[in-house]
Amino acid sequence: MAPLPVAFTAGEQGAWRISAITPIRGAGLEAAPRLAVTTGTDPQPRGAWTLRGVVSNIRYTTAEELAALAARQQGLGRPEATRAALIPIRKTAAWWAMAQDERRAIMETRSRHNAIGMEYLPAIARRLHHSRDLGEPFDFLTWFEYAPGDEPAFEALLARLRASEEWCHVEAEIDIRLSR
Ligand code: HEM
């Protein structure tokens, strides 16, 4: 599959209403009423800010993990998933200076990112966008969709990941919540 460009534009237009923009680490982003998510060559509306990323290839996940994910995960756009979170993340220079096997050891062997995440599937649907190579302010734009009743589970997932060793390497994070 070719990499898919995705743009998140905050402003007056878009299917999602922005309910909160909370800086977790580092600076926040300007408030706006709505968020438009555009893919590929779709025209982008003008807005207060736009973050860009690409849905890219897998970096760390093993074949076995991928098969388990494929068997459990749900796609985006489920009618009942009327809540979403856009969480832009930037990791430290020290993180990027490590070799891939060292990063995998922190993310999965020691922090159990995917193993923890799997517990919250299929309720939470997700899509990871890579931004680092685009010269963007964040390395990743993470996107999640869930039903209102699954919000407490999503908060619990966030608390567990943010308490992990992997998050010691996160230097910027903003938690943007949405509804439609
Ligand atoms: C819903 C359950 C989740 C599952 C099953 C999951 C699973 C994964 C997997 C398998 C990867 C590695 C992709 C690769 O091999 O390249 C990954 C990467 C990532 N995830 Fe999650 N995740 C979940 C939730 C979250 C949450 C809640 C956040 C943020 C708050 C998050 C942030 C990230 C980031 C930033 C990366 C890229 C890390 C890097 O490449 O350094 N994930 N996730």
Amino acid of residue 31? A
Return the exposure string of 128-160: e unless at least 16 CB atoms fall within 10 Å of the residue's CB, then b.
ebbbeeeebebbbbbbbbbbeebeeebeebbeb
Domains and CATH numbers, the chain: 4-41+48-179 (3.30.70.3420)
> Is residue 173 over pLDDT 80?
yes
For position 36, what pLDDT does the model report?
98
Q: How far is the CA of 143 from the centre of ligand 1 (A)?
A: 10
Question: How confident is the model over 6-32, as a mean pLDDT?
Answer: 98
> Is residue 145 over pLDDT 80?
yes
Distance CA 35, CA 37 (A): 7
153 CB-side CA count, 13 A: 18
Give the chain's largest Cα–Cα span. Answer: 43
Rounded CA Rg of the chain:
16
79 within 8 A of 148, measured Cβ to Cβ: no
> Is residue 131 over pLDDT 90?
yes
* Residue 154: its H or E element: helix 151-162
Taking CB atoms within 8 Å and a gap of at least 24, the contacts of 113-119 are 113/161, 113/164, 113/166, 114/61, 114/65, 114/69, 116/157, 116/160, 116/161, 116/164, 117/157, 117/161, 118/68, 118/69, 118/72, 119/157
Question: How confident is the model over 41-64, as a mean pLDDT?
Answer: 96
Q: In the predicted model, what is the mean pLDDT of the chain? A: 97
- What the block records as the tokens of 158 is 């966030």
Q: How far is the CA of 128 from the centre of ligand 1 (A)?
A: 7
Question: How confident is the model over 132-161, as a mean pLDDT?
Answer: 98
Atom of ligand 1 nearest to the CA of 166: 41
For position 1, what pLDDT does the model report?
73
Q: How far is the CA of 126 from the centre of ligand 1 (A)?
A: 9
For position 2, what pLDDT does the model report?
85
For position 150, what pLDDT does the model report?
98
For position 32, what pLDDT does the model report?
98
Distance CA 161, CA 153 (A): 12
Question: How confident is the model over 71-81, as a mean pLDDT?
Answer: 98
Pocket test for ligand 1, best of 54, 64, 126, 138 (most atoms within 8 A of CB): 126
pLDDT digits (tens, 9 = 90+) for 91-108: 999 999 999 999 999 999
Amino acid of residue 86? L
6 within 8 A of 14, measured Cβ to Cβ: no
Atom of ligand 1 nearest to the CA of 114: 7
Q: State whether residue 115 is helix, strand or coil.
A: helix
pTM to 2 decimal places: 0.98
The residue contributing the CA closest to ligand 1 atom 43 is 114
Ligand 1 neighbourhood includes 158 CB (under 6 angstroms):
yes
